[in-house]
């Protein structure tokens, strides 16, 4: 099992983002939100996701970046195509990943959730390495933050009509089988 110390995954690369808020004591972590991201869209590898989450995305590197380079967004972790995990925000803090959102009647999901990005796109299959790492990370998070238990969802489910990730390519049944094994 992976280990978490002071909100940080010990086995991950750490790239602390300035895009986070302190989590209020009364906001216990009780939700895991799965996302996808690729920059530029449907292109994998490169530094651009980290650059976005660290607030240093260069708008001249790709025409798509001109519309997003000033966004102040982050996630707790990114799982790259090869399974590498990069952590940007302590699990004890609020990453800015969910935006306008609601889960089981409760709004502002950033307040009580952990956001995990998969390097990918809605319609491109995820890699075996990503599923394995996501399942391992999920088991670790459920152990560390037991209120998550079965509150595992996609960005599309907490922001319907606004977001579509992790998309139709994400195999929920396979993911669930891995976290239970």
CB 27 within 8 A of CB 112: yes
Q: Does pLDDT of 181 surpass 90?
A: no
* Residue 1: inside a domain: no
* Residue 101: inside a domain: yes
Residue that wins the pLDDT comparison between 27 and 143:
143
Structure-token pair, residue 15: 């790239």
* Residue 4: inside a domain: no
3-state secondary structure of 7: coil
* Residue 61: inside a domain: yes
Give the chain's domain count. Answer: 1
* Residue 2: inside a domain: no
Give Cα separations from 131 to 14, 138, 172 (angstroms): 20, 10, 10
* Residue 151: inside a domain: yes
Spatial distance between the Cα atoms of 177 and 132, rounded to a whole number of angstroms: 11
* Residue 107: inside a domain: yes
Q: Does pLDDT of 1 surpass 80?
A: no
| Set 26, 72, 92, 117: catalytic member | 117
Question: For residue range 44-82, what is the model confidence (pLDDT) as tens digits?
Answer: 999 999 999 999 999 999 999 999 999 999 999 999 999
pLDDT band at 159 (very low <50, low <70, confident <90, very high): very high
**CATH number (domain holding residue 19):** 3.40.80.10
- Over residues 135-164, mean pLDDT: 97
High-pLDDT (> 70) share of the chain, % = 100
Q: Is 180 a catalytic residue?
A: no
Range of the domain at 47: 9-180
Query: Parallel, antiparallel, or unpaired: how do β-strands 77-79 and 85-87 relate?
Result: antiparallel
Structure-token pair, residue 64: 């798509």
Q: Does pLDDT of 27 surpass 90?
A: no
Spatial distance between the Cα atoms of 113 and 105, rounded to a whole number of angstroms: 14
* Residue 3: inside a domain: no
């Amino acid at each position: 099992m992976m280990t978490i110390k002071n909100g940080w995954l010990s086995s991950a690369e750490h790239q602390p983002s300035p895009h986070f808020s302190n989590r209020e004591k009364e906001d216990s972590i009780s939700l895991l939100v799965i996302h996808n991201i690729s920059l530029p869209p449907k292109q994998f590898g490169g530094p651009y996701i980290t650059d976005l989450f660290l607030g240093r995305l260069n708008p001249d590197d790709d025409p798509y970046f001109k519309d997003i380079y000033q966004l102040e967004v982050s996630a707790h972790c990114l799982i790259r195509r090869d399974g590498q995990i990069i952590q940007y925000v302590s699990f004890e803090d609020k990453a800015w990943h969910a935006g306008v959102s609601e889960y089981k009647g409760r709004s502002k999901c950033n307040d009580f959730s952990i956001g995990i990005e998969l390097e990918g796109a809605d319609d491109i299959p995820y890699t075996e390495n990503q599923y394995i790492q996501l399942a391992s990370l999920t088991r670790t998070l459920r152990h560390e933050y037991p209120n998550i238990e079965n509150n595992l969802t996609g960005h599309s489910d907490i922001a319907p009509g606004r977001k579509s990730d992790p998309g139709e390519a994400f195999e929920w049944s396979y993911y669930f089988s891995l976290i239970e094994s």
